[in-house]
Amino acid sequence: MAEETIFSKIIRREIPADIVYQDELVTAFRDIAPQAPTHILIIPNVLIPTVNHVTVEDELALGRMITVAAKIAEQEGIAEDGYRLIVNCNRHGGQEVFHIHMHLLGGRSLGPMLSHKGI
């Protein structure tokens, strides 16, 4: 069994978070350290530590993460200008919290996809 992270407590509303959306499959809340005017994390309610742990049983929740991202982008008024969805995996991906999450970033031009070149 994977170890729970702080995100499980946010899902269960045991610790405070600015939750903008929740249903039976996913929860979305504002990032505590926003890197853009809109920075929201969308997560499955079940604990999946990384993309490496995903199975076919997770496809419904993972698909819901995208449809919820689109809905929130519309609500935030950033759909037309555009935004970025990011899922980091493990060390090289820069993952810090081991409960899969999709970053929804927008509200300004986000520049090139990667912050440094040479890849």
Residues marked as catalytic = 101
Q: How far is the CB of 59 from ligand 5GP (least distance, A)?
A: 21
- The tokens of 71 are what? 């809905």
The Cα–Cα gap between 38 and 22 comes to 17
The site for ligand 5GP, by CB under 6 A, has a size of 12
Footprint on residues 53-112 left by ligand 5GP (CB under 6 A): 88, 94-97
Stretch in the footprint of ligand 5GP (CB under 6 A) among 25-33, 45-53, 69-77, 107-115 = 25-33
The full DSSP string for 10-72 is HHTTSS---EEEE-SSEEEEE-SS-SSSEEEEEEESS---SGGG--GGGHHHHHHHHHHHHHH
Q: Return the number of the residue (34 or 77) whose C-beta is nearest ligand 5GP.
A: 34
Q: How far is the CB of 3 from ligand 5GP (least distance, A)?
A: 15
The answer to whether the beta carbons of residues 27 and 10 sit under 8 Å apart is yes
The Cα–Cα gap between 19 and 2 comes to 24
Of 8, 19, 25, 31, the one binding ligand 5GP (CB under 6 A) is 31
Which residues contact ligand 5GP by CB under 6 A?
Answer: 6, 17, 29, 31-33, 41, 88, 94-97
